[in-house]
Chain A
């Protein structure tokens, strides 16, 4: 009897440990997280529009049908990444996510010179390099600090009415996401 109680107590303490361990492991081990789902659809170096019917859109917070949403996966391992594009007809915004899918940086078109997309994503170390020697073509860029090796960008562009869709689509197509 005493041994059974001992086993129960041991089991309960163990259950608590297993609970905590699995909870913290899930974000690292999840095989079908946002990164994996994006890898199946996006091309490296370019923005790919996310279809409202795709599995990533199904669960995306604020997958707003008033918007065209596009994503791009990037790596900062070989240097900063530059996001550039034309101006959009109306509101747009973007967020940078780490490999685990947590939102680490966000910005909207009001922060841009002329409303055109011009963001440099860099690690804190790469940013220090820029501070020493700022290239002339980057003086108007917005610098996004991302302390990650791999990450992805999700951009949303507002479509006020159906007739504007083609114009907004042109903005999405103009956007690139390439190593600097």
Chain B
């Protein structure tokens, strides 16, 4: 009798403990499915929609993340430069590109876990958009991402911090066609490092 109780207890502990552990592991450790990658940039157009997978839906509820709708736009994230190195504010980066297929686009840095990035001084350009940056005569643009003031288009970073770049395309065929549209996104190249 006692042995039977023990068997039931062991089974229950494994079932409940293991099940809860599996769920938390899956929510915290699994990457997002259904990503669309263009160059070094990745977007998750299904995240936060009714077509999202159960793990994405659980994460959504826990994080209260509100996804941007397809008719609104799409957000691409870059966590590494074009050589595959993680982005860090110890270095300068050049974001270089030409026309992006969107009515409007914006660029800003996020923390490595895609949250708000603290530590950028007030009045520094913590975000840029396609309507106010300077362009070259041929329509191409170049943005320097740096923790130090830079000439021309400058996007500010906090000091000594890893970061992720968020590129938001608004009213873009890239969003409504779920990545089937051929487009090119800017290249992120590492410049000088001060580390």
Contacts and interface: CB of A to CB of B under 8 A. Distances in A.
Nearest to A27: B61
B108 A14 contact: no
Contacts, number: 206
A153 B11 CA distance: 46
Nearest to A21: B19
Interface in A2-24: 3-4, 6-8, 10-19, 21-24
Bin chain A's interface residue count. Answer: 35 or more
Given A7-B10, A11-B12, A24 B54 contact: yes
B137 interface: no
A58 B65 CA distance: 9
Interface string A42-84: 0000000000100111111111111100000000000000000
Interface of A: 3-4, 6-8, 10-19, 21-24, 26-27, 30, 32-34, 36-37, 52, 55-67, 90-91, 93-95, 97, 100-108, 110-111, 154, 156, 158, 160-161
B127 A64 contact: yes
B156 to A, nearest CB: 12
Contact of B49 (A6, A102, A110, A111): A102
B127 A100 contact: no
Given A8-B10, A27-B61, A62 B68 contact: yes
Contact of B61 (A33, A95, A154): A33
Contacts of B18: 11-12, 14-15, 18-19
Interface residues of B, number: 60
Contact of A64 (B14, B22, B60, B108): B108
Q: Nearest 5 A-B pairs (CB), nearest first?
A: A106-B69, A18-B19, A14-B15, A11-B14, A15-B18
Interface centre among B27, B68, B132 (most CB of A within 10 A): B68
Contact of A22 (B20, B66, B170): B20
A149 to B, nearest CB: 16
Given A60-B64, A101-B48, A103-B48, 15 more contacts: A3-B7, A11-B13, A15-B14, A15-B16, A18-B16, A22-B20, A23-B26, A30-B62, A33-B62, A59-B64, A66-B108, A91-B103, A93-B171, A95-B68, A108-B170
Given A27-B60, A59-B65, A107 B7 contact: no
Contacts of A62: 67-68, 73, 75, 166, 168
B71 interface: yes
A93 B55 contact: no
Interface string B161-178: 000001010110000000
B116 A57 contact: yes
B92 interface: no
A17 B15 CA distance: 8
B80 interface: no
Contacts of B104: 90-91, 158
Most B-side CB within 10 Å, residue of A13, A21, A55, A65:
A65
B72 interface: yes
A108 B172 CA distance: 11
B126 interface: yes
Nearest to B14: A11
A121 to B, nearest CB: 14
B67 A15 contact: no
